[in-house]
Amino acid sequence: MWTKENIHELVQKQNKFFRTNKTLDLNFRKKAIIRLRDAVIRHEDDLKEALYKDLGRHGLEAYFCDIGTVVLEANETLKGLDKYAKTETHFSGLTCFPSMITKVYKMPYGTTLIISPFNFPILLSLGVLIAAISGGNTAVIKASSKTPNCTKAMQELIEEIFPSKFVAIVDGGHDVADMCLEERFDKIFYTGSPRVAKHILEMAAKNLTPVALELGGEEGNFAVVRKDADIKDAARKIAFFKSLNAGQICINVNQVAVASEVADKFIKALKKEFKRQVPNAYKNKEYPKLITKAAYDKCAKTAKKYSDRIVYGGNGGRRSRRFEPTIIYPVGLEEEIVNRELFSPLLPIIVYDDNKIDELMDNIASREHGLALYLFTKDIEWAEHIMSTQQFGGGCVNEVCLHIMVKGVPFNGTGHSGMGAYHGEWGFREFTHPQTVLYGSTHFNLPMREHPYEKRIIKEKFIKLFEK
């Protein structure tokens, strides 16, 4: 059981280890990431079992979303780490003459705190840990109390390969998280809700600790289906994503806005896809469950409120915590259900006229920035315009969620969907500080920058010449 005292002792132990400079060695970091990757592969079955117990996740989904993605992240980081960490050498410029060499060192922050959520407990703990290690940091991971089996499996894995002075996993509830936040960490990385993020920022501000936040779409991540879209393809992909992890995904489709011209066709195709992909979902053992009874009750209560507009689904089993994908149609843009993150298999459908697409996009833009945006259309020029002018974390055109799997690109949010970025080089950057150092010359120094200024005209001419 964690107490304020032993958490403080753990952080002090990590601080002391960091000051030995062992984590500055790139070979140390690479070996640590290799040990972590190999341990994840070695413990694949244990992790799958834990994910099934906590979330009801099928082994294939567990590997695709959590386990395999950690391996992918490790391999990408190992491949690029030498390049990421290479010290930059710059020409200082004539203004600095004769001190012509400046270097930028990629320095770790130090002792970091990673607070991970329940929905992807392995990926969002160990995946972030890879970024922290790549930057040369130590790490304390506060894992979710809602996934005790995954937390235990990760604790056993980490204790097998790392001493606690380097990496440790802390379990417990919100009280333990607050004990961690009361400590002076050098960097905090949190994945979760905007509400909790505000509390974390408030706690971090006491020590001016830099924070990265990966949050959900507070007012929803939209999928927009235009009248020229491939309806069957859109329905298939949206059904897949909404069924994944029972909708408990920060980048999930929260609501669909579909053009009135194809709305009936889309609803028909979406029903067909849900039936094909997860038949009898709430009795289907391949289909994941909601994380707690409270989450199930919240989902069921919302579904009951809109029961007169449920055109597919609406059933569940409280004992199993499975609630089937549920289409609610039609729903207005200003209704409560499309103005909050659902984090469930409920899917409200908004109908708009395609000739009023600009009004719809203006409405989406006026909301808190989502973590994701998905557009389905054959008009790629329009899609490119929207994607390059709208503000959101990331997204896809004629696809869902797979942008998170792309190597070499950042995963991040903006505004109420987060701050900071990670994956690969972006994760390395998030966990390092670029430290600029100019190397001065002791010869040929010019007096143009110095007092006295009585020969101002000559000095000013030189300064103007050099500062161009």
Catalytic residue list: 214, 250
Segment holding 432, helix H or strand E: strand 432-439
Q: What angle do the packed helices 26-42 and 68-85 form, to 10 degrees? A: 170
Segment holding 259, helix H or strand E: strand 255-259
Nearest to 223 by CA among 244, 253, 195: 253
Segment holding 75, helix H or strand E: helix 68-85
Nearest to 105 by CA among 424, 421, 432: 432
Both structure tokens of 462: 């030189």
CA–centroid distance for 237 within its chain: 21
C-alpha R_g of the chain = 26
Both structure tokens of 113: 């705190």
- Give how far Cα 376 sits from Cα of 62, 329, 359, Å: 27, 19, 17
* Tally of CB atoms within 10 A around 327: 22
Contacts of 15 by beta carbon, 8 Å cutoff, 6+ apart: 110, 111, 138
SS3 439: strand
SS3 158: helix
- Contact criterion met (CB below 8 Å) for 250 and 371: yes
